[in-house]
Amino acid sequence: MIKKSKNVFLVSLGCPKNLVDSEVMLGSLEKSGYNICETAESADLLLVNTCGFIQSAVEEAVEEILDLAEIKKQFPDKQLVVTGCLVQRYGADLQKEIPEVDLFIGTDGFQNLISHLESLETSPPPVLSPLVTPSFVMNSSTPRSISTPSHRAYMKITEGCSNRCSYCMIPALRGNLRSRNPEDLLKEVQIHEQSGVRELTLIAQDLTSYGLDFGRKDVNLVALLKNILASSSIPWIRLLYLYPVRLQDELLDLMAENSRILPYLDLPLQHVSDRILKLMNRPYSLVETQKLIERIRLKLPESAIRTTFMTGFPGEREEDVDTLAAFMQEFELDHVGIFTYSNEEGCKAEMLPDHCSEEIKEKRKDRLMELQASISKKKNSRFVGKTEQVLVEGISQETELLLEGRTRFQAPDIDGCVYINSGECAPGDLVNVTFSEAHIYDLVGEIV
Ligand code: SF4
């Protein structure tokens, strides 16, 4: 039996979907008497929930594990547990290479962390042979300790992904699409509303594929959103990870009719060159993408569009990057993340010919980042003199002299923010701010 009042120190890496898994683990630990502590030194349990879908994430995770393994060497009574995508990918190797780790758990099983810890008291940790394909799907009664500020939360509506983008490891690490039950999601919305959430962000690998695995016409993203709107009064509902080909007019129309669904579209495009999109196994074209952006702008003229592009995909030529730059210039998207292709062992793209050098990948990324910086500055300057609703996050991380918040067009943890230089407010307040300054990513203004 676990001794009451132990401390846990958590490092949660990767995306908001992995953060929700971390919150599930914290929830079950708290339920078993653990307290969450801020330093590894004061913890009994050191927990790292890893990301592992690209090499840079793998390196970051291994570094975090080794840092905590050093602390474990000094304090052998501490337990070190590593979970998540890195374990799903390299579990057996890690077990051999980092013996300081007491327990490795992949992307399924973290929900039973307590029983795994209890079994450690009587038997050695399970030997990790290739890990099972994940099947777990959380629900509204899964213990969870929300780690985001109390005025906002993520709601993960599916697990896994059934798309097969040729550069992506996620289906192999997270399994195929598994949608959560719509009634159960509404229960979770109630829980968030009762705990004071003002901004609920819906997340998934591909939000638009919600319900496809149910094979029922009435289970889909639009139906879910209509029920969330009808059964709650949460003022801000944000959508992340929309898959371009599944972004239907029905969703755009619902967004146009309901300002509680924020006019913010996170739409990972990855590229716009037809030849590269084909090699990526992304089933759309430049023309279709142009039409999609035009449709969005027609139905949601004030909306902000976020996307990601990848440079240096195998076979990419300068003219493909020219096509991408011309598209960025023409459509001036609000938020653009540029990543270099990461050649992942086990991905289809690994087998493609004509891989680009790291130098070329970086050169192309820099060129597009520079272009986007001028576009972002221009787009942001349209807010100067204007007044927008801002969700207050609290004292700025930059300086105590400023407060920080975000507009409807700025997602948490990925986009710029608003610095508030005058006016009274508290975290979670929705206030009106008139902007006096615009920078590449951030805005400055005062409460009116
Ligand atoms: S949509 Fe593509 S890139 Fe995104 S998780 Fe699925 S397979 Fe990976």
Band (pLDDT 50/70/90 cuts) for residue 4 is low
Residue 332 CA to its chain's centroid (Å): 23
Q: How far is the CA of 169 from the centre of ligand 1 (A)?
A: 8
Domain end marker among 381, 400, 428: 381
Q: Is the pLDDT confidence value at 126 over 90?
A: no
- 225 and 318 in a single domain? The answer is yes
Crossing angle between the packed helical segments 286-299 and 318-331, to the nearest 10 degrees: 10
* Mean pLDDT, residues 319-345 taken together: 98
Kindly state whether residue 139 falls inside one of the protein's structural domains: no
Q: Is the pLDDT confidence value at 23 over 70?
A: yes
Q: How far is the CA of 347 from the centre of ligand 1 (A)?
A: 12
- 208 and 166 in a single domain? The answer is yes
User: For 243-256, how does the pLDDT look when each residue is reduced to its tens digit (9 = 90+)?
Assistant: 999 999 999 999 99
Domain that holds residue 265: 152-381
Q: How far is the CA of 166 from the centre of ligand 1 (A)?
A: 9
CATH of the domain at 263: 3.80.30.20
Phi, psi of 111 (to 5 degrees): -70, -15
Band (pLDDT 50/70/90 cuts) for residue 130 is low
Q: What is the pLDDT of residue 426?
A: 97
Q: What is the mean pLDDT of the chain?
A: 95
Q: Is the pLDDT confidence value at 414 over 60?
A: yes
Which position has the token pair 């407010």?
425
* Mean pLDDT, residues 215-224 taken together: 96
CATH of the domain at 16: 3.40.50.12160
Phi, psi of 210 (to 5 degrees): -55, 130
Residue owning the nearest CA to atom 8 of ligand 1: 168
Q: What is the pLDDT of residue 132?
A: 67
Band (pLDDT 50/70/90 cuts) for residue 131 is low
Residue owning the nearest CA to atom 4 of ligand 1: 205
- 430 and 314 in a single domain? The answer is no
Band (pLDDT 50/70/90 cuts) for residue 1 is very low
Q: How far is the CA of 205 from the centre of ligand 1 (A)?
A: 6
- Which is the closest atom of ligand 1 to the Cα of 174? 5
What whole-number percentage of the chain has pLDDT above 70? 98
CB atoms within 10 A of CB 396: 17
Q: What is the pLDDT of residue 397?
A: 86
Q: Which of 131, 33, 144 is nearest to 84 (CA)?
A: 131
- 321 and 229 in a single domain? The answer is yes
Select from 54, 161, 173, 174 the residue to mutate for testing ligand 1; criterion: most ligand atoms less than 8 Å from CB.
Answer: 161
Q: How far is the CA of 297 from the centre of ligand 1 (A)?
A: 25
Question: Which CA distances in Å does 342 have to 52, 88, 337, 345, 381?
Answer: 12, 18, 15, 9, 34
Domain end marker among 381, 402, 435: 381
> Which of the two residues, 119 and 387, has the higher pLDDT score?
387
Residue partners of 318: CB distance under 8 A and separation at least 6: none
Domain end marker among 323, 358, 381: 381
Kindly state whether residue 133 falls inside one of the protein's structural domains: no
Ligand 1 pocket residues where CB is under 6 Å:
161, 163-165, 168, 170-171, 205-206, 243
Q: How far is the CA of 370 from the centre of ligand 1 (A)?
A: 26
- 68 and 102 in a single domain? The answer is yes
The DSSP annotation for 115-140 comes to HHHHHHTTSPPPP--SPPPP-----T
- 391 and 377 in a single domain? The answer is no
Rounded distance between C-alpha atoms, residue 133 and residue 126, angstroms:
16
Q: How far is the CA of 327 from the centre of ligand 1 (A)?
A: 22
- 354 and 293 in a single domain? The answer is yes
* Mean pLDDT, residues 119-134 taken together: 74
What single letter denotes the amino acid at residue 164? R
- 239 and 320 in a single domain? The answer is yes
What whole-number percentage of the chain has pLDDT above 90? 92
- 74 and 202 in a single domain? The answer is no
Kindly state whether residue 134 falls inside one of the protein's structural domains: no
- 229 and 179 in a single domain? The answer is yes
* Mean pLDDT, residues 104-124 taken together: 89
Q: Are strands 103-105 and 152-156 parallel, antiparallel or unpaired?
A: unpaired
- Which is the closest atom of ligand 1 to the Cα of 171? 7
Q: Say if residues 258 and 229 touch (Cβ distance below 8 Å).
A: yes
Q: What is the pLDDT of residue 2?
A: 47
- Which is the closest atom of ligand 1 to the Cα of 282? 2
Residue owning the nearest CA to atom 2 of ligand 1: 165
Band (pLDDT 50/70/90 cuts) for residue 114 is very high
Q: Which of 419, 429, 424, 364 is nearest to 397 (CA)?
A: 419
Tokens (6 digits) for 109: 């099983």
Q: How far is the CA of 170 from the centre of ligand 1 (A)?
A: 6
Q: Which of 384, 439, 428, 377 is nearest to 406 (CA)?
A: 428
Kindly state whether residue 425 falls inside one of the protein's structural domains: yes
- 261 and 347 in a single domain? The answer is yes
- 114 and 195 in a single domain? The answer is no
Kindly state whether residue 1 falls inside one of the protein's structural domains: no
Residue owning the nearest CA to atom 5 of ligand 1: 205
